[in-house]
Amino acid sequence: MNTVSVYIHIPFCKKKCNYCDFVSFADKEELIDGYVEALKHEITSIPQQLKIKTIFFGGGTPSLLAPKQLEKILSHFESRITYPEISIECNPGTVNLQKLKDFHKLGINRLSIGAQSFNDRELKTLGRIHTAKEIHETVENARKAGFKNVGLDLIFALPNQTLESWKETVRKAVELEPEHLSTYNLQIEEGTPFWKMTNDKPCLTAGRFQMSNNNFQLPDEETEACMYEFAIDYLKAKGYKHYEISNFSKPGYECKHNIVYWKNGDYIGIGVNAASHINNSRHENPNNFEEYFLMANQQSKGLAGKLASRPARDEISETIMMNLRLLDGLSKKEFKERFGKDIEELYKKEIDELEKDNLIENTKTHLKLSRKGLFLANLIFEKFVD
Amino acid sequence: MLKWSVDNIRNFSIIAHIDHGKSTLADRLLEFTGTIEKRQMREQILDTMDLERERGITIKAQAIRMEYQGYILNLIDTPGHVDFSYEVSRSLAACEGALLLVDASQGIEAQTLANAYLAINSNLKIIPIINKIDLPNAEPEKVLTEIKNVFGIEKSEVILASAKEGVGIKEILEAIIERIPPPKGSAKDPLKALIFDSHYDIYRGVVAYLRIMSGTLNSGSKILMMGNQNEYEVLETGILRLGLIPKKELFAGEVGYLISGVRNVRECRVGDTVTEARNPAAEPLPGYKPIKPMVFCGFYPVNTGDFEHLKDALEKLQLNDAALTFETESSAALGFGFRCGFLGLLHLEIVQERLEREYGIDLVATAPSVIYKIIKKGGGELLIDNPSSFPNPSIIEVIEEPFLKLSVFTPSEYVGKIMELTIDKRGIFKGVEYFDPTRVMATFEMPLSEMISEYHDLLKSVSRGYASMDYEFIGYVPSDLVKLDILLNSEPVDALAVIVHREKAYYRGKMLVEKLKEEIPRHQFEIPIQASIGSKAIARETKPALRKNVLQKCYGGDITRKRKLLEKQKEGKKRMKRIGSVDVPQEAFMAVLKLGK
Give the number of other Cβ atoms within 10 Å of residue B286's Cβ: 9
Is the confidence at residue B263, as pLDDT, over 70?
A: yes
What pLDDT does residue A10 have? 97
Nearest to A376 among B550, B563, B570 (CB): B550
Given a contact cutoff of 8 angstroms between Cβ atoms, the answer to whether B35 and B64 are in contact is yes
Q: Where do the structural domains in chain A lie, given as residue ranges?
A: 3-262, 312-382
Distance CA A333, CA B115 (A): 78
Confidence of residue B179 (pLDDT cuts 50, 70, 90): very high
Cα separation of B506 and A197, whole Å?
Answer: 41
Query: Shortest CB distance from B547 goes to which of A184, A222, A277?
Result: A222
What does the pLDDT read at residue B59? Answer: 45
Within 8 A of B547 by CB-CB distance, chain A residues are: 221-222, 224-225, 375
Cβ distance A318 to B559 less than 8 Å, yes or no, reads: yes
SS3 content of chain B, % helix, strand, coil (to 5): 30, 35, 35
Residue B597's pLDDT is what?
A: 39
Rounded to a whole number of angstroms, the distance from the CA of A221 to the nearest CA of chain B is 7
A319 touches chain B (CB under 8 A): no
Q: Which chain B residues have a beta carbon less than 8 Å from that of A374?
A: 550
B435: closest CA of chain A, how far (Å): 43
The answer to whether A374 contacts chain B (CB < 8 Å) is: yes
Domains and CATH numbers, chain B: 6-179 (3.40.50.300), 192-276 (2.40.30.10), 295-366 (3.30.70.870), 372-479 (3.30.70.240), 483-596 (3.30.70.2570)
Give me the pLDDT at residue B80, please: 62
Q: Which residues of A touch B524 (CB under 8 A)?
A: 357, 359, 372, 376, 379
Question: Kind and range of the H or E element at B143?
Answer: helix B140-151
**Which candidate, B322, B474, B465, places its Cα nearest to that of B18?**
B465
H-state helical runs in A183-277: 193-199, 221-237, 256-262
Q: What distance in Å separates the CA atoms of residue A226 and residue A375, rounded to the nearest whole number?
A: 10
Are B460 and B416 contacting, i.e. CB atoms less than 8 angstroms apart? no
A224 vs B contacts (CB less than 8 Å): 547-548
Distance, in angstroms, between A167 CA and closest chain B CA?
18
Give the separation between CA A257 and CA A182, rounded to whole angstroms: 14
- Residues in chain B with CB shorter than 8 Å from the CB of A264 are 559
| Tens digit of each residue's pLDDT (9 = 90 or more) over B505-552 | 999 899 999 999 999 999 999 999 999 999 899 999 999 999 999 988
**Residue B23 assigned ligand-binding role:** yes
- Closest Cα partner for B78 from B58, B98, B94? B58
Mean pLDDT of chain B: 88
What is the least distance, in Å, from the CA of A278 to any CA of chain B? 11
**For residues B281-297, average pLDDT:** 85
Determine if the pTM surpasses 0.80.
no
Least Cα distance to B431 among B441, B423, B439, B421 occurs for B441
Residue of A nearest to B573 (CA): A382
Determine whether A157 is exposed, middle or buried from the number of CB atoms within 10 Å of its CB (0-12, 13-18, 19+): buried
SS3 at position B158: coil
In A, minimum Cα distance to B572 occurs at A382
**Interchain CB distance below 8 Å, A382 and B551:** no
Distance from C-alpha of B144 to C-alpha of B151, rounded to nearest angstrom: 10
B19 is in an annotated binding site: yes
Q: Do A378 and B550 touch (CB under 8 A)?
A: yes
Residue A357 distance to chain B (closest CA, Å): 9
User: What residues in A contact B570, CB-CB < 8 Å?
Assistant: 382, 385-386
Its sign, for the CA torsion B476, B477, B478, B481, is negative
Q: What pLDDT was estimated at residue B48?
A: 55
Q: Of A370-379, B226-235, B495-504, B567-576, which gets the smallest average pLDDT?
A: B567-576
Are B270 and B322 in contact by the 8 Å Cβ rule? The answer is: yes
The answer to whether B255 and B231 have CB atoms below 8 angstroms apart is no
Q: Is B24 annotated as a binding residue?
A: yes
State how far the Cα of A281 lies from the Cα of A304, in Å rounded to an integer: 10
Mean pLDDT for the stretch of residues B560-569: 90
Q: Three-state SS for B185?
A: coil
Ranking A120-124, A295-299, B340-344, B563-567 by mean pLDDT, the lowest is A295-299
Q: Note whether A225 contacts B: Cβ–Cβ < 8 A.
A: yes
Instruction: Select the more confidently predicted residue: A159 or B333.
Output: A159
User: What is the per-residue pLDDT for A258?
Assistant: 97
Q: Which of A7, A377, A381 sits opposite B556 (nearest CB)?
A: A7
Contacting B residues, span 436-475, partner chain A, CB-CB under 8 Å: none
CATH number of A312-382: 1.10.10.920
B596, pLDDT greater than 50? no
Q: CA-CA distance, A87 to A68, in Å (whole number)?
A: 17
pLDDT band at B82 (very low <50, low <70, confident <90, very high): low
**pLDDT for position B100:** 95
Tell whether B568 is within 8 A of chain A (Cβ). Answer: no
Instruction: Name the maximum alpha-carbon separation found in chain B.
Output: 89
Q: Indicate the helix (H) or strand (E) that contains B514.
A: helix B502-519
What CATH number does the domain located at A3-262 have?
3.20.20.70
Distance from CA of A350 to the nearest CA of B (A): 13
Q: Does the beta-carbon distance from A381 to B566 stay under 8 Å?
A: yes
Residue A210 makes CB contacts below 8 A (sequence gap 6+) with A197, A201, A204, A216
Query: Quick check: B550 and A273 CB within 8 A?
Result: no
Q: Mutate which of B525, B543, B559, B564 to disrupt the A interface (most A C-beta within 10 Å)? A: B559
ipTM comes to: 0.89
Residues A75-95 have pLDDT tens digits of: 988 777 777 899 999 999 999
CA-nearest of B389, B365, B369 to B301 is: B365
CB proximity A309 to B under 8 Å: no
Choose among B164, B128, B151: nearest CA to B28: B164
Nearest CA-CA partner of A2 in A337, A267, A319, A326: A267
CA-to-CA dists, residue B187 to B76, B122, B192, B220, B497, angstroms = 21, 22, 10, 17, 57
Q: Is B390 helix (H, G, I), strand (E, B) or coil?
A: coil
B133 assigned ligand-binding residue: yes
Average pLDDT (B253-267) is: 89
At A301 the pLDDT is 46
pLDDT score at B1: 43
Residue B452: pLDDT band with limits 50, 70, 90 = confident
CA B149-B429-B82 angle, 5° bins:
65
Cβ contact (<8 Å) for B550 and A374? Answer: yes
Q: Quick check: B556 and A378 CB within 8 A?
A: no
CB contact under 8 A, B559 and A225: no
CB of B551 less than 8 A from some CB of A: yes
The verdict on a CB contact (< 8 Å) between A376 and B559 is no
Q: Do the Cβ atoms of B239 and B247 come closer than 8 Å? A: yes
CB contact under 8 A, A284 and B557: yes
Chain A contact present for B423, CB below 8 A: no
Mutate to test the interface with B, among A382, A383, A384, A386 (most CBs of B within 10 A): A382
- Is the model's pLDDT at B391 over the cut of 60? yes
Q: How far apart are alpha carbons B513 and A264 in whole angstroms? A: 45
CA atoms within 13 A on the CB side of A168: 11
Q: Is A382's CB within 8 Å of B569's CB?
A: yes
The answer, for B550 touching chain A at a CB cutoff of 8 Å, is: yes
> How far is B543 from chain A, CA to nearest CA, in Å?
13
Q: How many CB pairs under 8 A join A and B?
A: 96
Q: What is the DSSP letter of B285?
A: P
Region B152-160: mean pLDDT is: 93
Reported confidence tier of residue B346, pLDDT bands at 50, 70, 90: confident
B134 is in an annotated binding site: yes
- Per-residue pLDDT of B25-62, as tens digits, reads 988 998 899 887 765 666 555 555 555 555 544 445 47
Q: Which residues of B touch A377 (CB under 8 A)?
A: 549-551
- Residues facing residue B532 across a β-bridge: B485, B537
Each of the 386 residues of chain A gets a pLDDT tens digit; together they read 588 999 999 999 999 999 999 999 998 999 999 999 999 999 988 888 888 999 999 999 999 999 999 999 999 887 777 778 999 999 999 999 999 999 999 999 999 999 999 999 999 999 999 999 999 999 999 999 999 999 999 999 999 999 999 999 999 999 999 999 999 999 988 889 998 888 766 545 667 888 877 888 999 999 999 999 999 999 999 999 999 999 999 999 999 999 999 999 999 999 999 999 988 888 899 999 999 998 888 755 455 455 666 788 899 999 999 999 999 999 999 999 999 999 999 999 999 999 999 999 999 999 999 999 999 999 999 999 98
